[in-house]
Amino acid sequence: MSLQQAYDLDLSATLPKILGILAVTYGTWKYIEAKRSPLNAIPTIGYSGILTSYITAIKWARSSGDLLQEGYDKYPGQPFKVATISRWIVILGGPNHVDEVRKAPADVLSFRQAVAERIQNKYTLGRKFDDDPYHVATVRTPLTRNLVSRFGDIRDEIVESFKDYIPLTKDWQSVSAYDTLMHIVCRTSNRYFVGLPLCRDPGYRSLNETFTIDVAVSARIINCFPNFLKPLVGQYLTTVPKSVKRALEYLGPTLEERLAQEKLHGPEWAERPNDLISWLLETTTQDYHRTIRDLVLRILTVNFAAIHTSTMTLTHSVYDLAVHPEYVKEMREEAEKILEEDGWTKPAMQRMRKIDSFLKESQRLNSIGNMLMTRKTLKDWSLSDGTLIPAGTFVGIANDAMNKDEDAFPEATTFKGFRFADMRDGEGELDGIKHQMVSLSLDHVVFGHGRHACPGRFFAVNEIKAMFAHILLNYDIQLENDSMKRPENFCVEANIIPNTKAKVLFRKRRG
Contact 301, 289 (CB under 8 A): no
Q: Which residues of 435-472 are buried (b: 16+ CB within 10 A; e: fewer)?
A: bbbbbbbeebbbbbbeebbbbbbbbbbbbbbbbbbbbb
- State the number of CA atoms in the 13 A half-sphere of 259 facing the CB: 16
- In this predicted structure, what is the pLDDT of residue 7? 41
Closest among 370, 447, 501, 327 to 72, alpha carbons compared: 370
Q: Which residues, given as ranges, of the chain have pLDDT below 50?
A: 3-4, 6-9, 11, 23, 26-29, 31-32
- In this predicted structure, what is the pLDDT of residue 129? 67
Helix (H), strand (E), coil (C) string for 67-93? HHHHHHHHCCCCCEEEECCCCEEEEEC
- In this predicted structure, what is the pLDDT of residue 6? 45
How far apart CA 361 and CA 446 sit, in angstroms, is: 11
- In this predicted structure, what is the pLDDT of residue 331? 98
Contact 496, 309 (CB under 8 A): no
How far apart CA 128 and CA 125 sit, in angstroms, is: 8
- In this predicted structure, what is the pLDDT of residue 313? 96
Contact 36, 462 (CB under 8 A): no
| Dihedral, CA of residue 140, residue 498, residue 368 and residue 494, to nearest 10 | -140
Q: Is 491 annotated as a binding residue?
A: no
Strand ranges (E), 154-217: 173-176
25, with CB counted inside 10 A (0-12, 13-18, 19+), is exposed
Sign (positive/negative) of CA torsion 447, 448, 450, 453? negative
CA distances in angstroms from 206 to 252, 353, 399, listed in the order given:
17, 34, 31
Backbone φ, ψ for residue 50 (5° rounding) = -60, -40
Contact 124, 218 (CB under 8 A): yes
165, with CB counted inside 10 A (0-12, 13-18, 19+), is middle
- In this predicted structure, what is the pLDDT of residue 128? 65
* Type of residue at 441: S
- In this predicted structure, what is the pLDDT of residue 431? 64
- In this predicted structure, what is the pLDDT of residue 219? 81
